Amino acid sequence: MTDRYKRYIAIVSIVFVLLLSGTVIFFYVSGERKAAKAMEIENITTDKSRYYPGDKVKITVYIKNTNKSAVNNTAVKLKAFHLGEETGEEKKLSISSLPSGEKTIDLVWQAPEKDYTGYLLELSLSGKWGGAVSYGTVGVDVSSTVLKFPRYGYLSDFSQGADTKSMIQAMTEYHINTIEYYDWQYLHHQPLADGITAENPGVWKDWSGREIYGTAIADYIKYAHEANMINMAYNMIYAGTDTFFWDKEGKPTIAEQWKLYFAPDSDRGEGEFKFHMGTSPSGNGNLYFLNPLNPSWQKYIFAQENKIFKAFAFDGWHGDTVGDWGKMVTYDGKPLGVNEAGEPIYLVKDTYTRFLNAAKEALGNKYLSFNPVGAQGIENANKSKTDILYAEFWPWDKDREGNTYDTYYSLAKEVERSFTDSKPESFDGKGKSLVVKAYINYDKTVGNMNDPGVILAAASVYAAGGSRLEIGNGDHMLHKEYYPDDNIPMSGALKKYMKGLFDFTVAYENILRDGQMPVENDVTVEGYNTSRDGKSDTLWTYTKTDGTYDVLHLINLLGTDNKWRDERGKKSAPKEISDIKVRYYTEKEVSDACLASPDRDGGRSSKLRLTKGKDDKGSFVEFNVPELTYWDMIYMK
């Protein structure tokens, strides 16, 4: 064998080995990549609904590996964003072996020291050979109090078997930070039953005979505090039941002289102002209303509320009303009081400011929230020292100009006004963010909540700078004024959407609820009808600014109506559109624009390509929005 032939054989052998090795490596890498693609981030949660500046944020990532065997050498990476800009260093957690099935991975992120700031955390799962195979996001609110960004939820199950820990955990996933404890109390005029103490939380029956377990309340509060939620004890500000007005011998008590009566010229009723709630085993089926300005009543009810805090670690009082019922007088036919100008007060809503300020002083360091039902007298609540603004809307009630609260725009407009009204009493001078309670799908009796009705109402309120009371009792959704009747469930898809929506509103709270005010910038969308006030079958172009950012909300009402209530859950989804050419008119120098939406991509921001120009309407920036389902937000700096 010649040397030349030997060299030939050697070269061929080497090439063969290389080809064989390459083939083996190719199939191995292909197999590894295929295995990696069968992994997915299913959910991401945080251990608390709110964090103090500098806190450690515990994040749990739920991963599903659909391979039949473990996948080795995977990794989870974490990036933090504030308004689309990456902040801090990327974190990486290596996983030597990810078993088949479902697994949870815990990471810790250090919250920055800046107070009242929202973040979007992006987590990615990658395989051995790199390249993210699955993404997920979660919102984080870093705020030392709930006052700036309240996110209200509710509880109404105080039975012996209530799964208190699971309910609070479920509400944490929606970042609920304030809880209304609905109808927990013994009686309206005596919220704390006799003999109930911190050491003996006991059991009592409410007016209807429903058993309330103090241990359930105490446990809810304990778990809620661990998640940095505050707990608000619900009660009317001006109501008592039958036994408050007659003693055991059947003689009237002094409280009879505190009652409200319809004025002689009232067209809403006559005699004493009362509601019949229903049959009561204790004889307390009637609810009588009292003059909020009566000093004796104020002294009495404030003392009763303060007793609560000695027995349960509630953080404040959530005061309620029953709306406007026209002119009222006292038991002896006199006005309810006089205003600052010395004029007589006949409407209960005109008593709110003084009553709430007195209540706040009496509560000391406890929080106060308040519900002017029907938003009647909301302006008086807004200018009081109430900590959290809150209002229950009904479509037949009217605003200050006499317009009914029946459209998405009517809700948004009242959120805007509440910011303006409350600026003098807000801690940062920007105004307070209104919590909106509006019952979607009110007449639905079967099936699930209707996705379009729920989502469009939420979009209109959050775009305006408010928030919604709708999630409670774990992951239930409110659709009637009697909270235990929350038995029309969300579908699995709607639950997932709503969690993403809450992540979105937390992550972008600083351009949604941080003092942004409406502006009348012109907006055109090529090929589509637009409106500034959310008309049916249009693109609602809602523009706001805070001096640093101009924000354009595109809320899709194409092919659907602008009524928020959707009583029977029949509202159709808006027509989804794509490749949308938008022209935003402004004289400001816009340096960049970002798009974010709760509808896609986990709420992550993406840069938009800007074109600047000028026409007969003025200077503008133009950009393309890839798609619009329900709500897109464009923020321009």
Mean pLDDT of 133-159: 97
3-state class (DSSP) for residue 293: coil
- Answer yes or no: is pLDDT of 472 > 70: yes
Token duo for residue 467: 């928030």
Q: Within 10 A of 22 (CB to CB), how many other CB atoms are there?
A: 10
The pLDDT assigned to 357 comes to 98
Backbone angles phi, psi at 624, to 5 degrees: -105, 130
Lowest-confidence range among 95-99, 227-231, 284-288, 321-325?
95-99
- Answer yes or no: is pLDDT of 30 > 60: no
Q: Sign of dihedral through CA atoms 555, 418, 238, 216? A: positive
Token duo for residue 253: 């008590």
Say which DSSP state 38 is in.
T
The pLDDT assigned to 68 comes to 85
Contact 477, 471 (CB under 8 A): yes
Helical spans, DSSP H, in 320-464: 352-363, 378-382, 408-422, 451-464
- Answer yes or no: is pLDDT of 328 > 70: yes
Lowest-confidence range among 24-33, 200-209, 514-523, 619-628?
24-33
Say which DSSP state 172 is in.
H
Mean pLDDT of 170-188: 98
- Answer yes or no: is pLDDT of 572 > 70: yes
Mean pLDDT of 300-328: 98
Q: Which amino acid is at 385?
A: K
The pLDDT assigned to 248 comes to 85
254-276 residue pLDDT tens: 999 999 999 999 999 999 999 99
Say which DSSP state 111 is in.
P
Sequence-distant (≥ 6) Cβ neighbours of residue 280 within 8 angstroms? 207, 208, 209, 241, 242
Mean pLDDT of 452-479: 98
Mean pLDDT of 145-170: 97
The pLDDT assigned to 552 comes to 98
What kind and span of H or E run contains 556? strand 550-556
Query: Whole-angstrom Cα distance, residue 19 to residue 11?
Result: 12
Could you tell me the pLDDT band of residue 11, with boundaries at 50, 70 and 90? confident
- Answer yes or no: is pLDDT of 67 > 90: no
382-400 residue pLDDT tens: 999 999 999 999 999 999 9
Could you tell me the pLDDT band of residue 565, with boundaries at 50, 70 and 90? very high
Q: Sign of dihedral through CA atoms 493, 495, 501, 507? A: negative
Chain-wide mean pLDDT for the chain?
94
Could you tell me the pLDDT band of residue 1, with boundaries at 50, 70 and 90? low
Backbone angles phi, psi at 290, to 5 degrees: -120, 160
- Answer yes or no: is pLDDT of 207 > 70: yes
42-63 residue pLDDT tens: 999 999 999 999 999 999 999 9
The pLDDT assigned to 247 comes to 87
Query: Whole-angstrom Cα distance, residue 637 to residue 623?
Result: 14
Question: Minimal CA–CA distance to 486: which of 521, 450, 439?
Answer: 439
- Answer yes or no: is pLDDT of 4 > 90: no
The pLDDT assigned to 36 comes to 59
Cα distances (angstroms) measured from residue 383 to each of 251, 388, 410, 423, 424: 40, 11, 20, 8, 7
Percent of the chain scored above 70 by pLDDT?
94
3-state class (DSSP) for residue 458: helix
Query: Whole-angstrom Cα distance, residue 203 to residue 483?
Result: 21
The DSSP bridge pattern shows strands 203-205 and 56-65 to be: unpaired
Sequence-distant (≥ 6) Cβ neighbours of residue 197 within 8 angstroms? 310, 311
403-429 residue pLDDT tens: 999 999 999 999 999 999 999 999 999
Token duo for residue 237: 């500000």
Mean pLDDT of 176-180: 98
- Answer yes or no: is pLDDT of 540 > 70: yes
Residue ranges of domains in the chain, CATH in brackets: 39-142 (2.60.40.10), 152-239+294-328+347-438 (3.20.20.80), 517-636 (2.60.40.1180)
The pLDDT assigned to 19 comes to 60
331-370 residue pLDDT tens: 999 999 999 999 999 999 999 999 999 999 999 999 999 9
Query: Whole-angstrom Cα distance, residue 516 to residue 412?
Result: 13
Mean pLDDT of 176-190: 98
The pLDDT assigned to 25 comes to 43
Lowest-confidence range among 36-45, 318-327, 361-370, 479-488?
36-45
Contact 555, 463 (CB under 8 A): yes
* R_g over Cα of the chain: 29
